[in-house]
Amino acid sequence: MKIIADENMPNAKALFSHLGNVELVNGRTLTHEQVKDVDVLLVRSVTKVTQELLEGSSVRFVGSATIGVDHIDLDYLVKANIAFSSAPGCNAEAVADYVFSGLSHLYMTKQFSWLSKKIGVIGYGNVGKTVYDRFSRMGCQVCVYDPLKEEGDSSANFVSLDEILLCNVISLHAPLTSLGVYPTKGMIGSKELAQLSAGTAIISAGRGGVIDEVALLKRHSQLNGDLHLILDVWDGEPSINQKLVSIADIATPHIAGYSKQGREKGTWMVYQELCRHLELSSDVISKDVISKNDAISTGWFSSIDVDSAVLLEEMLARSIQAIYDVARDDVRLRYKYRENKEKNVFDWLRKHYVERDELNTCLIRANNNDACNLMGAAGFSVDNKS
């Protein structure tokens, strides 16, 4: 069996090699010629899996180690009788960590105190729900907009888009869609941005194209720069709007979900699905092949003791930044674009990403119930010493 895998899928060779010959490739530049005699195609979001790519090939299974499917022509896969699997939820914790690292950055650099502010989440899929649940457990006043998920779901505070736009913090996690009753492409345009108040924080960590970037630049100017922007996704990736980068508090190359554990979970989930497709057990594999326990790694920092006498919001911000400081990724992006030595800086940054751990890999020790509750809600493991 011939298997092609994106070179940015961790553990791909270790997991899939006992099933066939595995070749690692650049997912962005993948061609029909490369896949024509391949049986299994394993991708990430940078690969557009279309009829043009696959028609006439021997591909019978496509796996995407990501949560989104807007890069996949699902209708064609059904028509061509090609099995498909993605990895829903694999990086939900990682993206939530990105959101809270971004807010921690705003707190530490701009004294943006968000715990007491009104929070709006756009999109209630695996990621949006994880982000919403964290805010909710922290005791924040949080609401969500997702008309496709609202019907019959009373577990969250669903509101209109107009109400979301009145929030102090807006966190976007919607997929990019052009069709249907509620298309998301350009959903946040001039009309919507005009409703934003000065001092609003926008975190965009879903898909580029949901926000009208030209309109966002204009609204930023209208508010005299009093708009906090944490941007991970961009319209036109891998090309990105450098004017927008210049006004963003944080600019990163679509890596919100790039935790070490999240990427590993994505590969593992696709591996399990391929085993099911082949009617093999993913639990019974040869001893020299990586096991599930080894496939999902532990973190670098096993525990942190916090001083419960410190202001809760500062304790939270410093603890989050100890595990993942999003400013590191922002600085690296700006430096590499200034240096401009790479042919494609955006993809180079993704390929050579300095991996980070998820907050849940770190145990927080505290002797204060409020501190333990807050840190646990933020995503840490907690040891209450009180």
The domain limits of the chain are 2-90+259-295, 91-251, 303-384
Respond yes or no: is residue 254 known to be catalytic: yes
Band the pLDDT of 76: cuts 50, 70, 90. Answer: very high
Q: Tokens in use for 55?
A: 């028609």
Considering the candidates 44, 105, 254, 356, report the single residue annotated as catalytic. 254
Same fold: 91-251 with 303-384: no
Per-residue pLDDT band at 283 (split at 50, 70, 90): low
Return the CATH fold of 2-90+259-295. Rossmann fold (3.40.50)
Q: In this model, does residue 286 exceed pLDDT 50?
A: no
- pLDDT beyond 80 at 297: no
Q: What angle do CA 173, 27, 353 make, to 5 degrees?
A: 65
Write down the pTM of the prediction: 0.87
Rounded Cα distance between 191 and 172, Å, is 17
**By three-state DSSP, how is residue 158 classified?**
strand
Q: Which residues contact 208 (CB under 8 A, 6 or more apart)?
A: 176, 233, 234, 235, 236, 237, 254
Query: Of 28, 71, 207, 356, which is the active-site residue?
Result: 207
**Is 259 marked within a binding site?**
no
Residue 45 among known ligand-binding residues: yes
Q: What is 303-384's CATH number?
A: 3.30.1370.170
Torsion, Cα of 279, 282, 285, 289 (10° steps): 130
The pLDDT, as a whole number, for residue 294 is 56
237 is catalytic: yes
Active site residue 52: no
> 91-251, which class in CATH?
alpha beta
291 is in an annotated binding site: no
232 known member of a binding site: yes
Q: Rounded to an integer, what distance in angstroms lies between the CA atom of residue 19 and that of residue 68?
A: 26
State the catalytic residue, choosing from 237, 264, 273, 358.
Answer: 237
Q: Which 3 state secondary structure label does DSSP give 83?
A: strand
Q: How far apart are CA 109 and CA 94, in angstroms?
A: 22
